[in-house]
Amino acid sequence: MGAHLEFKEISRSSTTRARAGIIHTPRGDIETPVFMPVGTLATVKSLSPEDLLSCGAKIILGNTYHLYLRPGCDVIQAFSGLHRFMHWDGPILTDSGGFQVFSLARLRKITEEGADFQSHIDGSRHLLTPEKAIEIQLCLNSDIIMCLDQCIAYPAAQKEAAEALELTARWAGRCKRAWMDRTSEKACALFGIVQGGMYPDLRRASAAALVELGFPGYAIGGLSVGEPADVMLEMAEITLRQLPRTAPRYIMGVGTPENLVELVSRGADMFDCVMPTRNARNGQLFTPKGTLNIANARFRADTAPIDAGCACYTCRHYSRAYLRHLYLSREILAYRLNTIHNIHYYISLMGEMRRAIIKDDFDDFRKHFYEQRTPGSEEEP
């Protein structure tokens, strides 16, 4: 199939569906479960690649829609792809742009051919077809690329969700054909994306259609779009059970630390979310006890680090008082130091879960995770 990716499940919880694995790619191995920092515009906001490495990042995410519009494929091709352009040697996963067309593009029109949209930058018109999405991602030279899918809003009528998943399945077939025609040019793996709204039968149908097409990996899209957390978990669990154990399973755009723990327990392997970076820029810092708001007045003269048990660069060198001062002064360094901590927290959380799965004490890990977050603790917002 020209996958250029191999997944191996190495351990599984005896009491949950949580599993630990390894994804082999030409640019390096990725231990799962894994969190991928979001580098939409060929940068994880405020961080250098060296910062990411120090946080333990093994793979990062870029976005087809944004990079296609700016700086453009001609610029990135001059560097033979994103890796040299942004000075990142590890694996890169790129989203197809479907979600961004849905959420950002003005005057979009979805047809069988593709997504016709108006750029949010300059108003220019573009047609993103399944074949074009593959072409752009091959230009980016990503290690894992995604099929173009049709995203829908929440809530959505069942008829709308059914039509979107059927179009997504047809587009997935076109993406696979385009990918197979050109896979010899680049070493990349193509993932299909499950849609289906919040309807269990549609989720099952979408997953079955993609599995029948056959992909090196599978993603679950259309979650974390405003639905209640229990609905998100239900749809994810239903879908995960339909996907083969022999391939990595990726939940797109999710989520909170609690989301990650629950989804790993249901068998998910890969995650991305802007929450650790976006919240860092808003002064929200993650700790085992909960979320800490660094702007809070009680940290004005606090000499302690964000988290005494954290080994990140920020916690090893800076106090809450200093971080509060930087944040309130709107110093650029605040965003970098806060983001280092949050990314480190997310990646460390995934590592803790992996170790718990391998030791087969994931239930104990999950119990301890929630016990630390008891309401009323110092870190609760």
Show which residues are catalytic. 95, 272
Written in H, E and C, the secondary structure of the chain is CCCCCEEEEEEECCCCCCEEEEEEECCEEEEECEEECECCCCCCCCCCHHHHHHCCCCCEEEEHHHHHHCCCHHHHHCCCCHHHHHCCCCCEEEECCHHHHHHCCEEEEECCCCEEEECCCCCCEEEECHHHHHHHHHHHCCCEEECCCCCCCCCCCHHHHHHHHHHHHHHHHHHHHHHHHHHHHCCCEEEEEECCCCCHHHHHHHHHHHHHHCCCEEEECCCCCCCCHHHHHHHHHHHHCCCCCCCCEEECCCCCHHHHHHHHHCCCCEEECCHHHHHHHCCEEEECCEEEECCCHHHCCCCCCCCCCCCCHHHHHCCHHHHHHHHHCCCHHHHHHHHHHHHHHHHHHHHHHHHHHHCCCHHHHHHHHHHHCCCCCCCCC
Question: Tokens 């209640």 correspond to what residue?
Answer: 228
> What is the spatial distance between Cα 51 and Cα 57, in angstroms, rounded to a whole number?
9
